[in-house]
A and B are shown apart, each in its own frame.
Chain A
Amino acid sequence: MWIIAPLLCGLVFGAGLLISGMVQPTKVLGFLDIFGTWDPSLLVVMAAALAVSVPGFRLADRGTRPWFAGQYFRPGKSGIDAPLVTGAAMFGVGWGLVGLCPGPALESLATLSPGIIVFVVAMAAGMMAHDGWQQSRLTSQRDREFASATDG
Protein backbone atom coordinates (compact mmCIF):
# COMPACT_ATOMS: atom_id res chain seq x y z
CA MET A 1 0.00 0.00 0.00
CA TRP A 2 3.04 2.33 0.35
CA ILE A 3 2.81 2.98 -3.41
CA ILE A 4 -0.29 5.13 -2.73
CA ALA A 5 1.98 7.76 -1.10
CA PRO A 6 4.10 8.67 -4.17
CA LEU A 7 0.96 8.44 -6.36
CA LEU A 8 -0.83 10.97 -4.13
CA CYS A 9 2.27 13.19 -4.08
CA GLY A 10 2.30 13.17 -7.90
CA LEU A 11 -1.41 14.09 -7.95
CA VAL A 12 -0.90 16.98 -5.50
CA PHE A 13 2.15 18.20 -7.44
CA GLY A 14 0.14 18.05 -10.70
CA ALA A 15 -2.77 19.90 -9.09
CA GLY A 16 -0.35 22.61 -7.94
CA LEU A 17 1.04 23.08 -11.46
CA LEU A 18 -2.51 23.14 -12.90
CA ILE A 19 -3.97 25.62 -10.36
CA SER A 20 -0.96 27.95 -10.51
CA GLY A 21 -1.09 27.89 -14.32
CA MET A 22 2.59 26.87 -14.50
CA VAL A 23 1.67 23.88 -16.66
CA GLN A 24 1.13 26.42 -19.48
CA PRO A 25 4.32 27.55 -21.28
CA THR A 26 2.74 30.97 -22.01
CA LYS A 27 2.39 31.58 -18.25
CA VAL A 28 6.03 30.60 -17.59
CA LEU A 29 7.30 32.70 -20.52
CA GLY A 30 5.28 35.65 -19.14
CA PHE A 31 7.45 35.43 -16.02
CA LEU A 32 10.73 35.01 -17.91
CA ASP A 33 9.92 37.92 -20.26
CA ILE A 34 10.99 40.74 -17.95
CA PHE A 35 11.23 43.17 -20.89
CA GLY A 36 7.65 42.48 -22.01
CA THR A 37 4.40 42.53 -19.99
CA TRP A 38 5.99 40.91 -16.95
CA ASP A 39 3.89 38.39 -14.99
CA PRO A 40 5.43 37.77 -11.53
CA SER A 41 3.12 34.77 -10.80
CA LEU A 42 5.97 32.20 -10.89
CA LEU A 43 7.73 34.14 -8.13
CA VAL A 44 4.60 33.79 -5.96
CA VAL A 45 4.47 30.04 -6.78
CA MET A 46 8.06 29.58 -5.61
CA ALA A 47 7.56 31.71 -2.50
CA ALA A 48 4.41 29.78 -1.51
CA ALA A 49 6.10 26.44 -2.21
CA LEU A 50 9.06 27.45 -0.02
CA ALA A 51 6.74 28.70 2.74
CA VAL A 52 5.47 25.11 3.02
CA SER A 53 8.63 23.17 2.18
CA VAL A 54 11.11 25.01 4.45
CA PRO A 55 9.28 24.08 7.70
CA GLY A 56 8.26 20.72 6.19
CA PHE A 57 11.85 19.67 5.44
CA ARG A 58 12.89 20.84 8.92
CA LEU A 59 10.29 18.45 10.29
CA ALA A 60 11.67 15.63 8.10
CA ASP A 61 15.21 16.40 9.30
CA ARG A 62 14.12 15.64 12.85
CA GLY A 63 12.76 12.19 12.00
CA THR A 64 15.12 9.23 11.84
CA ARG A 65 13.42 7.49 8.92
CA PRO A 66 10.53 8.06 6.48
CA TRP A 67 7.14 6.39 7.00
CA PHE A 68 7.48 3.83 4.20
CA ALA A 69 11.23 3.55 3.55
CA GLY A 70 14.32 2.50 5.46
CA GLN A 71 16.19 5.80 5.06
CA TYR A 72 16.15 9.35 3.67
CA PHE A 73 17.78 9.71 0.26
CA ARG A 74 19.37 13.16 0.40
CA PRO A 75 21.75 14.59 -2.20
CA GLY A 76 25.31 14.19 -0.98
CA LYS A 77 27.14 16.82 -3.05
CA SER A 78 27.53 20.32 -1.64
CA GLY A 79 30.18 22.16 -3.70
CA ILE A 80 29.43 24.32 -6.73
CA ASP A 81 31.35 22.78 -9.64
CA ALA A 82 31.63 23.23 -13.41
CA PRO A 83 29.05 20.54 -14.34
CA LEU A 84 26.46 22.20 -12.07
CA VAL A 85 27.05 25.62 -13.65
CA THR A 86 27.13 24.32 -17.24
CA GLY A 87 24.13 22.05 -16.75
CA ALA A 88 21.99 24.72 -15.11
CA ALA A 89 22.89 27.19 -17.87
CA MET A 90 21.95 24.67 -20.60
CA PHE A 91 18.69 23.84 -18.85
CA GLY A 92 17.80 27.55 -18.60
CA VAL A 93 18.32 28.06 -22.35
CA GLY A 94 16.05 25.09 -23.17
CA TRP A 95 13.46 26.27 -20.63
CA GLY A 96 13.47 29.78 -22.10
CA LEU A 97 13.17 28.55 -25.71
CA VAL A 98 9.83 26.79 -25.16
CA GLY A 99 8.67 27.55 -21.59
CA LEU A 100 8.66 23.89 -20.55
CA CYS A 101 10.56 22.29 -17.69
CA PRO A 102 10.33 18.55 -16.88
CA GLY A 103 7.28 18.66 -14.52
CA PRO A 104 4.86 20.55 -16.77
CA ALA A 105 6.17 18.68 -19.85
CA LEU A 106 5.43 15.26 -18.32
CA GLU A 107 2.08 16.38 -16.89
CA SER A 108 1.07 17.74 -20.32
CA LEU A 109 1.46 14.25 -21.82
CA ALA A 110 -2.16 13.92 -20.62
CA THR A 111 -3.24 16.23 -23.49
CA LEU A 112 -1.60 13.86 -26.05
CA SER A 113 -0.29 16.96 -27.85
CA PRO A 114 2.21 15.87 -30.56
CA GLY A 115 4.51 18.79 -29.68
CA ILE A 116 4.62 17.72 -26.03
CA ILE A 117 5.33 14.09 -26.96
CA VAL A 118 8.22 15.20 -29.22
CA PHE A 119 9.58 17.47 -26.46
CA VAL A 120 9.47 14.65 -23.86
CA VAL A 121 11.18 12.19 -26.26
CA ALA A 122 13.91 14.78 -26.97
CA MET A 123 14.28 15.41 -23.21
CA ALA A 124 14.66 11.67 -22.57
CA ALA A 125 17.22 11.47 -25.41
CA GLY A 126 19.18 14.37 -23.85
CA MET A 127 19.22 12.60 -20.49
CA MET A 128 20.34 9.30 -22.01
CA ALA A 129 23.02 11.09 -24.07
CA HIS A 130 24.38 12.61 -20.85
CA ASP A 131 24.37 9.30 -19.01
CA GLY A 132 26.01 7.48 -21.94
CA TRP A 133 28.72 10.15 -22.14
CA GLN A 134 29.38 9.92 -18.38
CA GLN A 135 29.55 6.13 -18.63
CA SER A 136 32.10 6.22 -21.47
CA ARG A 137 34.20 8.81 -19.60
CA LEU A 138 34.26 6.62 -16.50
CA THR A 139 35.19 3.55 -18.54
CA SER A 140 38.09 5.28 -20.35
CA GLN A 141 39.32 6.73 -17.05
CA ARG A 142 39.32 3.23 -15.53
CA ASP A 143 41.21 1.88 -18.57
CA ARG A 144 43.83 4.61 -18.24
CA GLU A 145 44.27 3.92 -14.53
CA PHE A 146 44.54 0.20 -15.22
CA ALA A 147 47.15 0.83 -17.95
CA SER A 148 49.28 3.08 -15.73
CA ALA A 149 49.00 0.60 -12.87
CA THR A 150 50.30 -2.23 -15.06
CA ASP A 151 52.97 -0.02 -16.63
CA GLY A 152 54.27 1.14 -13.26
Chain B
Amino acid sequence: MENFTPVSAAIGGALIGLSAVLLMLSTGRIAGISGIFSGLLNLRGEDKGWRIAFLAGLILAPVIAGLVGYGMATPALPANWIVIIGAGLLVGFGTRLGGGCTSGHGICGVARLSPRSVAATAIFMVTAIVTVAVTHHVLGG
Protein backbone atom coordinates (compact mmCIF):
# COMPACT_ATOMS: atom_id res chain seq x y z
CA MET B 1 0.00 0.00 0.00
CA GLU B 2 2.97 2.33 -0.57
CA ASN B 3 0.94 4.42 -3.03
CA PHE B 4 -1.87 5.08 -0.54
CA THR B 5 -2.51 8.85 -0.18
CA PRO B 6 -5.33 9.15 2.38
CA VAL B 7 -5.00 12.90 3.14
CA SER B 8 -5.14 14.18 -0.45
CA ALA B 9 -7.82 11.56 -1.20
CA ALA B 10 -9.97 12.83 1.69
CA ILE B 11 -9.56 16.50 0.71
CA GLY B 12 -10.24 15.79 -2.97
CA GLY B 13 -13.20 13.57 -2.15
CA ALA B 14 -14.74 16.21 0.11
CA LEU B 15 -14.45 18.77 -2.71
CA ILE B 16 -16.18 16.38 -5.14
CA GLY B 17 -18.99 15.90 -2.61
CA LEU B 18 -19.22 19.65 -2.06
CA SER B 19 -19.48 20.26 -5.82
CA ALA B 20 -22.33 17.73 -6.12
CA VAL B 21 -24.22 19.36 -3.24
CA LEU B 22 -23.70 22.90 -4.55
CA LEU B 23 -24.89 21.92 -8.04
CA MET B 24 -28.06 20.40 -6.54
CA LEU B 25 -28.72 23.41 -4.27
CA SER B 26 -28.04 26.02 -6.97
CA THR B 27 -29.36 24.52 -10.22
CA GLY B 28 -31.28 21.48 -8.96
CA ARG B 29 -29.16 19.09 -11.03
CA ILE B 30 -27.38 15.81 -10.36
CA ALA B 31 -23.59 16.08 -10.84
CA GLY B 32 -23.34 13.01 -13.06
CA ILE B 33 -20.62 13.71 -15.59
CA SER B 34 -21.78 11.16 -18.17
CA GLY B 35 -25.30 12.61 -18.07
CA ILE B 36 -24.08 16.22 -18.21
CA PHE B 37 -21.87 15.44 -21.23
CA SER B 38 -24.36 13.28 -23.14
CA GLY B 39 -26.95 16.06 -22.86
CA LEU B 40 -24.73 18.12 -25.17
CA LEU B 41 -24.59 15.48 -27.90
CA ASN B 42 -28.03 16.05 -29.42
CA LEU B 43 -29.14 18.90 -31.62
CA ARG B 44 -32.06 20.03 -29.52
CA GLY B 45 -31.29 23.47 -28.18
CA GLU B 46 -32.71 23.51 -24.66
CA ASP B 47 -30.97 22.93 -21.36
CA LYS B 48 -27.37 23.26 -22.54
CA GLY B 49 -26.06 26.37 -20.74
CA TRP B 50 -25.46 24.87 -17.29
CA ARG B 51 -23.90 21.74 -18.88
CA ILE B 52 -21.42 23.81 -20.88
CA ALA B 53 -20.61 25.96 -17.82
CA PHE B 54 -19.97 22.92 -15.59
CA LEU B 55 -17.73 21.16 -18.13
CA ALA B 56 -15.88 24.42 -18.83
CA GLY B 57 -15.13 24.65 -15.09
CA LEU B 58 -14.01 21.02 -15.05
CA ILE B 59 -11.56 21.58 -17.91
CA LEU B 60 -10.41 24.98 -16.57
CA ALA B 61 -9.43 23.47 -13.19
CA PRO B 62 -6.12 21.95 -14.39
CA VAL B 63 -5.44 25.06 -16.53
CA ILE B 64 -5.72 27.31 -13.45
CA ALA B 65 -3.75 24.81 -11.35
CA GLY B 66 -1.02 24.97 -13.98
CA LEU B 67 -0.92 28.78 -13.83
CA VAL B 68 -0.26 28.68 -10.07
CA GLY B 69 2.47 26.06 -10.43
CA TYR B 70 0.58 22.77 -9.97
CA GLY B 71 0.48 21.61 -13.56
CA MET B 72 -1.26 18.34 -14.30
CA ALA B 73 0.82 15.47 -15.68
CA THR B 74 -0.35 14.04 -19.02
CA PRO B 75 -2.35 10.90 -18.16
CA ALA B 76 -0.61 7.59 -18.90
CA LEU B 77 -2.69 5.59 -21.39
CA PRO B 78 -2.24 2.19 -23.05
CA ALA B 79 -0.07 2.28 -26.19
CA ASN B 80 -2.71 0.33 -28.11
CA TRP B 81 -5.22 2.64 -29.85
CA ILE B 82 -7.72 -0.21 -30.25
CA VAL B 83 -7.86 -0.56 -26.45
CA ILE B 84 -8.37 3.20 -25.98
CA ILE B 85 -11.15 3.34 -28.59
CA GLY B 86 -12.81 0.14 -27.31
CA ALA B 87 -12.72 1.40 -23.73
CA GLY B 88 -14.17 4.78 -24.78
CA LEU B 89 -17.03 3.09 -26.66
CA LEU B 90 -17.81 0.82 -23.68
CA VAL B 91 -17.73 3.74 -21.22
CA GLY B 92 -19.99 5.85 -23.49
CA PHE B 93 -22.54 3.15 -24.34
CA GLY B 94 -22.48 1.61 -20.85
CA THR B 95 -23.02 4.86 -18.96
CA ARG B 96 -25.99 5.76 -21.18
CA LEU B 97 -27.56 2.29 -20.89
CA GLY B 98 -26.92 2.13 -17.15
CA GLY B 99 -27.92 5.75 -16.58
CA GLY B 100 -24.75 7.00 -14.91
CA CYS B 101 -21.08 6.66 -14.02
CA THR B 102 -18.79 6.95 -11.00
CA SER B 103 -20.11 10.43 -10.14
CA GLY B 104 -23.84 10.16 -10.87
CA HIS B 105 -24.37 6.65 -9.45
CA GLY B 106 -21.26 6.30 -7.25
CA ILE B 107 -21.50 9.58 -5.38
CA CYS B 108 -24.84 11.33 -5.96
CA GLY B 109 -27.00 8.20 -6.22
CA VAL B 110 -25.36 6.35 -3.34
CA ALA B 111 -25.64 9.50 -1.19
CA ARG B 112 -29.40 9.54 -1.92
CA LEU B 113 -29.50 5.79 -1.07
CA SER B 114 -30.98 4.98 -4.48
CA PRO B 115 -31.12 1.16 -4.86
CA ARG B 116 -30.38 1.56 -8.60
CA SER B 117 -27.22 3.52 -7.89
CA VAL B 118 -25.99 1.20 -5.15
CA ALA B 119 -26.48 -1.77 -7.51
CA ALA B 120 -24.83 0.01 -10.45
CA THR B 121 -21.83 1.04 -8.33
CA ALA B 122 -21.33 -2.50 -7.03
CA ILE B 123 -21.58 -3.92 -10.57
CA PHE B 124 -19.17 -1.52 -12.28
CA MET B 125 -16.66 -1.87 -9.42
CA VAL B 126 -16.72 -5.67 -9.78
CA THR B 127 -16.43 -5.74 -13.59
CA ALA B 128 -13.63 -3.11 -13.48
CA ILE B 129 -11.69 -5.11 -10.84
CA VAL B 130 -12.13 -8.32 -12.88
CA THR B 131 -11.02 -6.51 -16.05
CA VAL B 132 -7.85 -5.23 -14.34
CA ALA B 133 -7.16 -8.66 -12.83
CA VAL B 134 -7.45 -10.29 -16.27
CA THR B 135 -5.45 -7.68 -18.22
CA HIS B 136 -2.71 -7.19 -15.58
CA HIS B 137 -2.30 -10.66 -14.11
CA VAL B 138 -3.77 -13.26 -16.47
CA LEU B 139 -2.71 -11.68 -19.78
CA GLY B 140 0.25 -9.97 -18.09
CA GLY B 141 -0.21 -6.63 -19.87
- A residues near B (Cβ < 8 Å) are 2-27, 29-30, 32-42, 44-54, 56-57, 59-60, 63, 65-75, 77-80, 83-98, 100-111, 113, 115-116, 118-131
Contacts and interface: CB of A to CB of B under 8 A. Distances in A.
Contacts of B114: 75, 78
Interface residue range, chain B: 35 or more
A87 to B, nearest CB: 3
A32 B132 CA distance: 6
A95 to B, nearest CB: 5
B58 A13 contact: yes
Given A35-B137, A45-B12, A78-B114, A23 B72 contact: yes
A73 B24 CA distance: 9
Contacts of A9: 19, 22-23, 26-27, 31, 54, 57
Contact of A19 (B12, B41, B91, B102): B12
Contacts of A116: 75, 77
Contacts of A52: 13-14, 17-18, 20-21
Given A39-B4, A66-B27, A73-B29, A93 B18 contact: no
A90 B111 contact: no
B121 to A, nearest CB: 8
**Counting chain A CB atoms within 10 Å of each CB, which of B25, B51, B70, B97 scores highest?**
B97
